[in-house]
Chains A and B, each alone.
Chain A
């Protein structure tokens, strides 16, 4: 991207303009394009999909009226919320109140800059890519605290405080799990991390050794907590705090918080895919050699599906689990996840001294273990489904 702009400058396309201004304009334009073409539909469709998946799991129907299968529901909701009154409570700190949703939104949107959708499909391959993700997602907590404080509502304040404590705590296990991978890859660049892996599961960092396998689940759990997802959705716990930090928000501002939440789900999946699941790596088929566009599409699809699988898992978890209490949440983080993540880090460092042949054997064993877990898991799912008795639901009069 940057190279392309440099080329244009060299060709004299922006005669008389300072280089920095061109960069700034290009960044804004790219941001707008990414936002309107990719991120907004993605978050919107995720919201529709979540409601739909959730409804199915709860033996409901879900939104199915707007467009085929209700797929345009998010557009209808967006328009509805845009047309609503822009309400700011009299007692609220109006400046902070109106600023907060955008900071939360920005915190999630900026991560899209470094998400690698393909070998060449990335806005900027920063050499500190993953550190940048950690840094900008921390903005979210600022926004949430701001919303909680500025609303001048006791529920909002409690929600904001809970959220701050939660996000700050869970950044430690998430960060340490990420560092585990940075050690293995030897780089913080997102593309570099993906290139250090291969297309097959045996080359993924997930199955590099037992410690990275554990680190993946630590990262995913911590990321769910950072994203305020069930079972860690205590900042907006409906039954306890009414709506937490969004209690006083309505209309488009309210939507921005949830926009960020649903978009953030995808970011969680994308980062997990990049770090542990081999990113966009596709098998080196001969057909790709002459068709770079086909290769790009294949890479994008691979990455998208891998990331979306974890979005689906997050939805599934949300439909299944109850919510933990705030002290249990902190206990889980500080008593179990922080020590475990450090053990994973040390273990992985130890594995870097293990001879490569032995390491491969252990990696293969880890892969077998992972496959066994998946098989057991799906057998349980099959058992539950075969024992479910939905006939009566379809025939309510028996």
Chain B
């Protein structure tokens, strides 16, 4: 109130406090921000997390290793395969279980399909946040095909429970492989079409270029991971830098932000990294379909799975970045402690810093560009 007197306007103005969420249309799930605005300009936006907490980590202490795999699906239901894989990798590391080679390829195929599906949701809803309704439906149409493929692979469309300790639950039959190949052939031109429809749109670029810029230093200090980190120009991908599974044998690029429309690390760069990652996933899928060997999909794993006492941390490159499972074993059938590290949680913490001085519409663009996912934040 004193400020307005000092500016000499004579108008008695004060900041308006708005609660954005948890039922706001563009907070994707149940996020909430307490936003203080001066008209359209935001002075601060404080994230409020915890609306979707389901105690997934605590449940891990109460169920067996095999029984916990379906629970990991729910950590991030848009990319369930990666949580499956990270937990199974942690359990395998603890027990020293070998994964069959065909099992590894099945894992990579399923994961990359899931990555495309997750990125499609991300860029589609992002377009919808900016106001373009059509790209969202087109993206979901393509995702529907992936869901059908997933249903053929493992019988589920969203929470897969496909990757098991020692391999995968079901082998991918040659007919399904052919269908995945046909999908990849179909999907690559769709990315171009999507770019013509949305990425090249003048209004879309104007809305995103130079908005909510994350510098390299900020990205490090706020521990951003995945496409958000790569959008700031950091070439860091767990698949390449801490290789796991059969990724070292595969050829793929790590797309980073190029700043070709605005500044390095702006909202458009983060979006663009996701678009390019979908193309890279297609490349990986093609190679995998060619290289997949014959053999069993899962190795012999005892039903009563008792890893020796110890602890380990396994990390995978999920669509929302570095996802890690920290599992402590006391030698019993149940994990002693499970801790999940997810990318959305750290991405959420930078919103407060970036939102100062931007407009209300930019906050929506910022949330969409960071691709924060409510189930993954709270777990």
Measured CB to CB, the residues of A under 8 A from B are 54, 57-60, 154-155, 158, 161-162, 230-231, 233-234, 237-242, 318-328, 384, 387-389, 391-393, 396-398
Contact = CB atoms under 8 A, between A and B. Distances in A.
A392 B189 CA distance: 12
Given A387-B193, A388-B193, A398-B145, A320 B134 contact: yes
A324 B207 CA distance: 7
Given A230-B131, A239-B26, A326-B40, A59 B361 contact: no
B133 A319 contact: yes
Contacts of A320: 132, 134, 197
B167 to A, nearest CB: 26
Given A322-B127, A393-B141, A239 B193 contact: no
28 contacts: A58-B133, A58-B137, A59-B141, A162-B40, A230-B131, A231-B203, A238-B25, A239-B131, A240-B360, A240-B364, A242-B24, A320-B197, A321-B201, A322-B131, A322-B132, A322-B201, A322-B204, A322-B207, A324-B206, A325-B206, A325-B207, A327-B40, A387-B192, A388-B193, A389-B190, A392-B183, A396-B144, A398-B183
Contacts of A57: 134
Interface in B1-51: 16, 18, 24-26, 39-40
B282 to A, nearest CB: 14
Nearest to A384: B196
Nearest to B19: A154
Query: Which DSSP category, helix, strand, loop or mixed, fits chain A's interface?
Result: helix
A164 to B, nearest CB: 13
A239 B203 contact: no
A324 B204 CA distance: 8
Nearest to A239: B26
Contacts of B39: 161
Contacts of A240: 26, 360-361, 364
Given A322-B201, A323-B361, A326-B359, 19 more contacts: A58-B137, A233-B131, A240-B361, A320-B132, A320-B134, A321-B203, A322-B207, A323-B132, A323-B207, A324-B207, A328-B206, A384-B196, A387-B193, A392-B183, A392-B186, A393-B141, A396-B144, A398-B182, A398-B183
B127 to A, nearest CB: 7
B130 A323 contact: yes
Interface of B: 16, 18, 24-26, 39-40, 127-134, 137-138, 141-142, 144-145, 148, 179, 182-183, 186, 189-190, 192-193, 196-198, 201, 203-204, 206-207, 359-362, 364
Contact of A58 (B18, B134, B203, B204): B134
A60 B359 contact: no
A384 B129 CA distance: 24
Contacts of A233: 131
Contacts of B16: 154
A242 B24 CA distance: 6
A60 B186 CA distance: 19
Contacts, number: 106
Nearest to A380: B196
B206 A389 contact: no
B361 A237 contact: yes
A230 B129 CA distance: 13
A158 B131 contact: no
Contacts of A234: 361
Contacts of B128: 239
A389 B131 contact: no
A255 B288 CA distance: 54
Nearest to A391: B186
Given A323-B203, A393-B141, A396-B144, A158 B40 contact: yes
B361 A325 contact: yes
Contacts of B141: 59, 393
A58 to B, nearest CB: 4
Give the most central of A162, A240, A241, A324: most B CB within 10 Å.
A240
A384 B193 CA distance: 8
Nearest to B362: A325
Given A324-B203, A327-B359, A239 B129 contact: yes
Contacts of B361: 234, 237, 240, 323, 325-326
B193 A242 contact: no
Contacts of B179: 397-398
B193 A322 contact: no
B131 A237 contact: yes
Nearest to A154: B18
B362 to A, nearest CB: 7
Contact of B148 (A318, A323, A397): A397
Give the most central of B127, B131, B198: most A CB within 10 Å.
B131
Contacts of A398: 145, 179, 182-183, 186
Nearest to B179: A398
A154 B16 CA distance: 8
A155 B25 CA distance: 13
A54 B132 CA distance: 12
A60 B203 contact: no
B285 to A, nearest CB: 14
Contacts of B196: 384
B23 to A, nearest CB: 9
A154 B190 CA distance: 40
A59 B138 contact: yes
Nearest to A320: B134
B145 A396 contact: yes
Contact of A239 (B134, B142, B148, B364): B364
A338 B337 CA distance: 65
Contacts of A319: 133-134
Contacts of A321: 131-132, 201, 203
Contacts of A397: 148, 179
A389 B134 contact: no
B16 to A, nearest CB: 6
A320 B196 CA distance: 11
